[in-house]
Structure 1
Amino acid sequence: MKTTSEKNADIQILRAIAILLVIAQHIRSRLPTPQAYHEIFDHVTFWPGVDIFFAISGFLICKTFFRDMQTSQTKTSAIKSFWIRRVARLLPAVVFWGVTSIAISFYTSSYPNTNPSLVAKSALTGILGVSNIYWASCVQFALECGSADYNAVTWSLSLEWQLYALSTLLFVATGFRKGIIILAAISIIMSFLPSPSFSFPWVFRPQAFVIGALIFLIGTEKSKALNPSANIALLFTGLLICLLSPINIPQPFTVPAISVGAGLCLYSTLGGSSIPPLIGGFFSWIGERSYSIYLCHLPMILFSREILNTLSLTAPSNINFFIGIVIATALIAFMSEASYKFIELPFQRKLSNRRPEINLATQQTTTPQL
């Protein structure tokens, strides 16, 4: 397999699009939302931004672990190298924002179902990588778990870690091609299970991740052959499928349809330079910080809501909503930058000093010989 150091700006931009979709979903009702914004959700929903992240992860994790298998002396050392980097890359920010969510829960006393002890419990499940199991159990068994709005976003990170574990074990045991085929078979079976929000099939959904893995298996040369206009058209098609499927595709095919849309979005970016630089500069900044933004955006939205409550600006209206968005945007931008600069980057630099070639967002891949 050949790699180059050419930066793939489009994947960073896709990360930015995904996190903006997630935020657009989560500001609803948490800020003083006017009726016009609520009505948007009669036609589209934005939570499939998470599935776009899953597709990106499936592709990039397969690529980096394939490299580890090629460069490590033993399979054990490949797994060890992979997991040391994953834990060092992801866990520090999860710990920080888990602790921060607990602190914020003491301040946001006006928010319903706020219980700092329960927020601490859910933060711990995120740190341990079982948040998806925890929150599905809370919903399905009507457990007393408090508000999910402080740190329940960690459910998707827990799912990713679980998929990393399953994937790496399969790849070591069977090889990449057979391992991805097994993952695809599991995804097909799960695609026939109804998956309403926070059901167990919903929080264990592997489909978009596996589509990303399949794209890795196929390779990127065909995507590179598409011209920029074709890639942008493919990106918009994928986004439309993602946004429209929750409203228009019945169970159990909602998640599979979203996953196909997420796969199209990913495939459109693999050429690496289809999106105009004027747009890409701003979106690249967001994409680089998308992990910290994902972890911090809900606590910052709740913090913004408490500020509005103090100012008696919580009545749903256009002006209060706008003020809330301005405050939340400023807090998210500042805190995600701090998280990226002082938590993410130091660990990335340590890893770069150990293995200079590590840069998941900038590598390109040709069709692998698996």
Structure 2
Amino acid sequence: MLENENKNMDIQALRGIAILMVIYAHIKGRFPMPSFYEESFKYITVWSGVDIFLAISGFLMCMTLNRDISKSGKNISTYLNFWIRRIFRLMPALIFWVLVYVVVTSYANERWFPNPENLTPLIKSTLLGYANIYWSHGVVNRISLGPQDMSDMFAVTWSLSLEWQLYLIISLSIFTLSKNKSQIAFVFIVLASLLMPTNERQNTEYIWWFRPGAFMLGAITYYHIDKIKIINNLRLPCVIISLLIFLFIPYLFEDHYVIPVISALSALILMSAIGKPILSNGVVGRLLVWIGERSYSVYLCHYAIIHLISKFIFINTSADFYNSTSGTILMLTMFIVLTSIASDISYRVFERKLIRIVKILMLKRSETN
């Protein structure tokens, strides 16, 4: 979930839409919510927001790698510089929020560093980039990964690990293969993923945790964006229709086609966002851009804030208030305020400032070389 290096505001707005979809799904079962919200999950699905992020990342990583190669050539230095930027772009915020997860978990469980046998593997898999492997093994095989308030906060990191793994695949492909062969490799990965089994409960199959389709299609889009530009008047309808299909996709397609269709639609939405602004205009558009720019930090912090608020209200109010409409409104208001503040600080400190520092250091390094 990387910052768009050319600052395409529509792509930032797409990130805003994607993270709002993710949050809508993640509040379920963690705050006492009205019946209409709970009922909505019988008719819609919103977990596809992750695939929008993956399509954007695939496009941007392909663009970044090819830009670096055109400037500095295919060499070890160029490859290492790419990974140095990725590490400094993503890891500081992740490390900080992992520490916050430990603190909030301790508060929620009323003991410092609770259940090390469960917490330690969660931390290791998160920081070492194999959280999707760890989680898939647990969920597919129905193995408990710890209490909900502990494992929940680390649950979001599965997709970050998947992105790291896809960065490795795409970077090795682009640096070792020709442009045409690397695209063939991306297509092969997409086609191979279609052979993986799936069912109605998507996250009980490995394809949920290792879905490369949207990312690879985003990368392929970069190579062909000049040839497949969507007519300007059709771009907004494409985004709207695709998002509507996302919501009702389990009822429109058989289980085996759900993730492939979501991957294809994520790439279509990405294509629609490239060109003159259609999503980032007006008050709503600017709000989506603001959220999208902070989407990585929002993604990292929102579960911790949900559990912190839920536990705080639960132990400091009556059960009747906690489960009342007033309690829900209070918790949602606190969530919006705290998430906005926390993600903004995280974005400014761990993302923007560190990016500037890394750029300065790399510029000095290139000058000395």
**1:33-52 alignment to 2 at 5 Å?**
33-52=33-52
Does 1:288 find its partner at 2:278? no
Residue 118 of structure 1, CA deviation:
2.1
Does 1:242 find its partner at 2:246? yes
Q: Which residue of 2 aligns with 1:212?
A: 218
**1:272-311 alignment to 2 at 5 Å?**
272-275=276-279, 276-310=281-315, 311=317
CA contact (8 A) 1:32 1:324 kept: no
Show CA shifts across 1:45-84 (max 9, x none): 1111000000000100000001111112443222111111
CA contact (8 A) 1:59 1:212 kept: yes
| Alpha-carbon distance between aligned partners in 2 of 1:346 and 1:248, rounded to the nearest angstrom | 45
**Which of 152, 160, 171 is the equivalent residue of 1:168?**
171
Does 1:233 find its partner at 2:237? yes
Residue 218 of structure 1, CA deviation:
0.6
Cα distance change, pair 185–17 in 1 and its aligned pair in 2 (3 A): same
Q: Which residue of 2 aligns with 1:340?
A: 347
CA contact (8 A) 2:313 2:322 kept: no
CA contact (8 A) 1:28 1:38 kept: yes
| Amino acid of the structure 1 residue aligned with 2:170 | S
Q: Which residue of 2 aligns with 1:153?
A: 156
Structure 1 residue runs without a partner (length 5+): 357-370
CA contact (8 A) 2:74 2:175 kept: no
Cα distance change, pair 185–117 in 1 and its aligned pair in 2 (3 A): same
| Alpha-carbon distance between aligned partners in 1 of 2:204 and 2:174, rounded to the nearest angstrom | 29
CA contact (8 A) 1:12 1:287 kept: yes
Q: Which residue of 2 aligns with 1:254?
A: 258
Residue 119 of structure 1, CA deviation:
3.0
**1:1-370 alignment to 2 at 5 Å?**
7-109=7-109, 115=115, 118-146=118-146, 147=148, 148-195=151-198, 196-220=202-226, 222-223=228-229, 226-227=231-232, 229-275=233-279, 276-310=281-315, 311-312=317-318, 315-354=322-361
Q: Mean alpha-carbon deviation: is it higher for 258-267 or for 204-213?
A: 258-267
Residue 279 of structure 1, CA deviation:
2.1
| Alpha-carbon distance between aligned partners in 2 of 1:6 and 1:328, rounded to the nearest angstrom | 31
Moved beyond 6 Å, runs of 4+:
none
Residue 317 of structure 1, CA deviation:
4.3
Instruction: State the secondary structure of the residue aligned to 1:149.
Output: helix
Residue 230 of structure 1, CA deviation:
2.1
CA contact (8 A) 2:108 2:307 kept: yes
Cα distance change, pair 349–221 in 1 and its aligned pair in 2 (3 A): farther
Cα distance change, pair 334–7 in 1 and its aligned pair in 2 (3 A): closer
Instruction: State the secondary structure of the residue aligned to 1:45.
Output: coil
| Amino acid of the structure 2 residue aligned with 1:335 | A
| Alpha-carbon distance between aligned partners in 1 of 2:312 and 2:269, rounded to the nearest angstrom | 37
Show CA shifts across 1:107-136 (max 9, x none): 1138xxx84652343122111000000001
Instruction: State the secondary structure of the residue aligned to 2:31.
Output: coil
Instruction: State the secondary structure of the residue aligned to 2:292.
Output: helix
Query: Higher helix fraction: Structure 1 or Structure 2?
Result: 2
| Amino acid of the structure 1 residue aligned with 2:218 | G
CA contact (8 A) 2:249 2:258 kept: yes
What's the Cα RMSD here? 2.0
Residue 222 of structure 1, CA deviation:
4.5
| Alpha-carbon distance between aligned partners in 2 of 1:247 and 1:93, rounded to the nearest angstrom | 38
Instruction: State the secondary structure of the residue aligned to 1:108.
Output: helix
| Alpha-carbon distance between aligned partners in 1 of 2:136 and 2:294, rounded to the nearest angstrom | 28
Q: Mean alpha-carbon deviation: is it higher for 323-332 or for 241-250?
A: 241-250
Query: Normalising by the residue count of structure 2, what TM-score does the alignment of the two structures yield?
Result: 0.88
| Amino acid of the structure 2 residue aligned with 1:177 | N
| Alpha-carbon distance between aligned partners in 1 of 2:327 and 2:264, rounded to the nearest angstrom | 37
Residue 221 of structure 1, CA deviation:
6.1
Q: Which residue of 2 aligns with 1:362?
A: none
Residue 16 of structure 1, CA deviation:
0.4
Residue 328 of structure 1, CA deviation:
1.1
CA contact (8 A) 2:140 2:203 kept: no
Instruction: State the secondary structure of the residue aligned to 2:154.
Output: coil
Identity of aligned residues (%): 36
Residue 33 of structure 1, CA deviation:
1.9
Query: Normalising by the residue count of structure 1, what TM-score does the alignment of the two structures yield?
Result: 0.88
